[in-house]
Amino acid sequence: MTSPAKRRAHVVGLGLIGASLAMALRDAGWDVTGSDIDEHVLNDALREQVISGTVMTAEHELAFIATPAGTVSAIANALLSDFEVGPLIVSDVAGVKSSIVHEVSDPRFIGGHPMAGSELRGLKGAKADLFRGCNWVLTPTDATSPETYSVLHGILRDIGANVVAVSADDHDRLVAIASHVPHLLAGALMNEAADAAEQDAVLLQLAAGGFRDMTRIAAGDPSIWPDVLFENSDAVNSTLVRLEKRLEHLRIALAEQSREVLEESLESASVARRRLPGRALSSEHLTYLRVGVSDEPGVLATVTRAASELLVNIYDIEIAHGIEGVAGTLLLAVDSAQAELFSDALRGLGFGVVRE
Amino acid sequence: MTSPAKRRAHVVGLGLIGASLAMALRDAGWDVTGSDIDEHVLNDALREQVISGTVMTAEHELAFIATPAGTVSAIANALLSDFEVGPLIVSDVAGVKSSIVHEVSDPRFIGGHPMAGSELRGLKGAKADLFRGCNWVLTPTDATSPETYSVLHGILRDIGANVVAVSADDHDRLVAIASHVPHLLAGALMNEAADAAEQDAVLLQLAAGGFRDMTRIAAGDPSIWPDVLFENSDAVNSTLVRLEKRLEHLRIALAEQSREVLEESLESASVARRRLPGRALSSEHLTYLRVGVSDEPGVLATVTRAASELLVNIYDIEIAHGIEGVAGTLLLAVDSAQAELFSDALRGLGFGVVRE
């Protein structure tokens, strides 16, 4: 008696995402092979048993292409024509989707984009649970077979992802606003400050929490960005144009001292930001609590231990510093049903607590 | 025998900053009186012993004006002329300095700006340690007596602040870049996304950690901003103009597919951001650790309890979600000297830990 043969998957490109995906599938019971243009990476992946082999066969049920956005279409089309017979499903993980789904028109292909990442890079940063709880966008087209979608959806759920289906065009338009343009903005602001700091290093001492928040993503690996931006240049361009208009509008309001325009703009942003879900699935059930704290060692532990003892899950946490100071405020998101209980417990421990 | 008379200070305006300052001075051994245009606030402050009285006398050595930026000059000049004899020093806490130091030209006046704040408001949010470890900018002018500066500097150090002296013009130019314009940017980006999300709510599911970081400050109280922006409109305007130029420049590079321009811009931003000090005094001493966590109740408590047991202070903490997902990464800033010890302890508890 032999156990049933393992399902087989292949991953092209064993960087952070590709290798994490190989590990996630491996841990979900798949036999995972892989390939990479860098022989060292491939050898490392084999040695570390991220993949079991390097050769794709007609028995493979699944292939993920985890290479730079500009190379996906050619690789996908080559795979689809090499393996015309069999149950093959091909998907990718690139951050821009329209051109790819346009160029790979096959019932067995679905574009995908796991909204997961890490400050780390490559095989070394890979981990099997990278996709657990992440939103994984799939962009089916009219060409996609429903069967393909349903099988892929099931596989992604098995590795812990929440599947979200949108059109490739919508995806690209929305990530321009939610990701690509913010990245350019963060870079522009950081460069502006860095230039000013060359004259006046004290600027960096005045750069408080808000500035740090706004420029954090600029610290990431810049090398992946030009391709992503070129692939999505229409949506990025039009978002940038709209944003420049908004800034110009604010600048004019400032010059004209029109308090009303400024207040309205800042107020609507404040309302929208407060409504931004901490996480998609349970946004309406979350309550934000502001807790005044000093940050001696142990304060955070006291707060979180209180949560833990009451079985209160903290969904989100931020420290709002007394700007660069030592004292600050904890912003905690908890289940609304538990907010009162938890607030009372914290007050009992001597903390000031305000519901947002 | 009587103990030596306490030094006397007066605080005008008992909002978050003014009341915190009164409490800090009180705890440092001063007799602190105060005033506020809101009688309820004044009564609360008296009842809660934030202040011991409401009347300023010729014995007062110090007066802080903690009222909105636009009202500071008139109050300062009135105080300075009411108490012409005596050791009085007058300072303020407004976020914009040039117009104030221009309008209050007196050897006994120094403009100031504590880089501290809180998401909380008013007397209720006040706390004595708000300024501990914060940068407190003083903006002496040619009119300021060195004696005044040196006494005030000593008092601020006594309440835990790090004093930074810059010219009022430099201050205003630098906070335009480090604070005022970032605030407008965050608001503009949030409004852009909110408008797009009205068409397509899935945008909010794609709005990941980077977007959340960039818009966080937009959530704050908008009401203080128009005054600050009007007071600093020249510097804010010219910073906005430069930033719009930078965005336009990037947009053109994108349209022309000039990879080199994009790479250079993103690379220089990445380098500058990585060099940005974690906090002014100890930036070089902080190490960032990424800790993989699930977020069942108790995980955060386990991590922070481990810190607390080892007397490791967590200077900064963020949850980087598996984008909106359940599993995530904690980003913790700790003293570099303790990073190894703490990482080992966390690994011993079964957490994956990566130094950033």
Partner A contacted by B356 (CB < 8 A)? yes
pLDDT per position as a tens digit, A256-297: 999 999 999 999 998 888 877 654 334 457 788 888 876 566
Q: How confident is the model at residue A319 (pLDDT cuts 50, 70, 90)?
A: low
Q: What is the share, in percent, of chain B residues with pLDDT greater than 70?
A: 88
Distance (Å, whole) CA A127 – CA A203: 38
What integer best gives the mean pLDDT of chain B? Answer: 86
Partner B contacted by A329 (CB < 8 A)? yes
pLDDT higher than 50, residue B324 = no
pLDDT higher than 70, residue B314 = no
Distance (Å, whole) CA B149 – CA B14: 24
pLDDT per position as a tens digit, B70-107: 899 999 999 999 998 877 999 999 999 999 999 999 99
Inter-chain CB proximity B311 and A317 less than 8 Å = no
Inter-chain CB proximity B301 and A297 less than 8 Å = no
What integer best gives the mean pLDDT of chain A? Answer: 86
Partner A contacted by B298 (CB < 8 A)? yes
**Nearest residue on chain A to B237, alpha-carbon basis:** A251
Domain A282-355 has CATH 3.30.70.260: yes
For residue A260, the model assigns a pLDDT of 93
Domain B283-355 has CATH 3.40.30.10: no
Query: Which part of chain A is CATH 1.10.3660.10?
Result: 171-275
For residue A180, the model assigns a pLDDT of 94
> What is the mean predicted confidence (pLDDT) over A143-164?
87
For residue A279, the model assigns a pLDDT of 45
Regarding pTM above 0.80, the answer is: no
Contact A192/B242 with Cβ under 8 angstroms?
Answer: yes
Of residues A264 and B306, the one with the higher pLDDT is A264
By the 10 Å C-beta count (0-12 exposed, 13-18 middle, 19+ buried), A5 is classed as exposed
For residue B295, the model assigns a pLDDT of 55
Reported CATH class of domain A8-166: alpha beta
pLDDT per position as a tens digit, A201-233: 778 777 766 788 889 888 877 887 898 899 999
Of residues B39 and B340, the one with the higher pLDDT is B39
A-facing residues of B in 140-199 (CB < 8 A) are 160, 164, 166, 170-171, 173-175, 177-179, 181-194, 196
Domain A171-275 has CATH 3.30.70.1880: no
pLDDT higher than 50, residue B1 = no
Inter-chain CB proximity A204 and B352 less than 8 Å = no
For residue A324, the model assigns a pLDDT of 36
Dihedral sign of CA atoms A69, A70, A76, A79 in order: negative
For residue A325, the model assigns a pLDDT of 41
For residue A82, the model assigns a pLDDT of 93
Partner A contacted by B111 (CB < 8 A)? no
For residue A12, the model assigns a pLDDT of 98
**∠ Cα A299 B303 A124 (to 5°):** 140
pLDDT per position as a tens digit, A165-180: 888 998 999 999 999 9
Contact B70/B96 with Cβ under 8 angstroms?
Answer: no
CA distance A82 to chain B (A): 33
Please give the single-letter amino acid code of residue B135.
Answer: N
ipTM: 0.71
pLDDT higher than 80, residue A62 = yes
Is B17 in a helix, a strand, or coil? helix
Token reading at B188:
């503009």
Query: Which part of chain B is CATH 3.40.50.720?
Result: 8-166
Of residues B285 and A14, the one with the higher pLDDT is A14
Query: Which part of chain A is CATH 3.30.70.260?
Result: 282-355
- CA-wise closest residue to B136 among B110, B109, B106, B156: B156
With a CB cutoff of 8 Å and minimum separation 6, the contacts of B230 are A254, A257, A259, B70
